[in-house]
Amino acid sequence: MRAVFAKPGHDDAYELAEQLPDLGPKAAPLVPDLVRMLGEKQLYFRRAAVATLGAIGPAAKDALPELKKMAAGDPRPDLKKLASEAVAKIEAK
């Protein structure tokens, strides 16, 4: 998976990003990679990273600082909302 995301413009990267949220907590080992994806230029990958981090839940707590920044200040309202939802899922007990 990491090799695919090393080339974000590759078709496999789009397909993989689309399916990652379905993994839920099983994607927890990818949290560092997903945090890096939050900084991608392509919105598609940022959305997928946020959705996956939210689906991982509390095990994605290391992503909270970046997600909170995104929830507070991203210029895209849809991404702000998605980031806020991910924060709530990660902080849920």
- pLDDT at residue number 44: 87
- pLDDT at residue number 6: 61
CA–CA distance, 44 with 92 (Å, rounded to integer): 26
- pLDDT at residue number 81: 97
User: 89: Cβ–Cβ under 8 A, 6 or more apart, which residues?
Assistant: 54, 55, 57
Q: Which domain holds residue 87?
A: 2-91
Please tell me the total count of domains within the chain: 1
**Predicted confidence (pLDDT) per residue in 23-71, tens digit:** 999 999 999 989 998 998 888 889 999 999 999 999 999 999 999 999 9
* Spatial CA neighbour of 24 closest among 90, 91, 93: 90
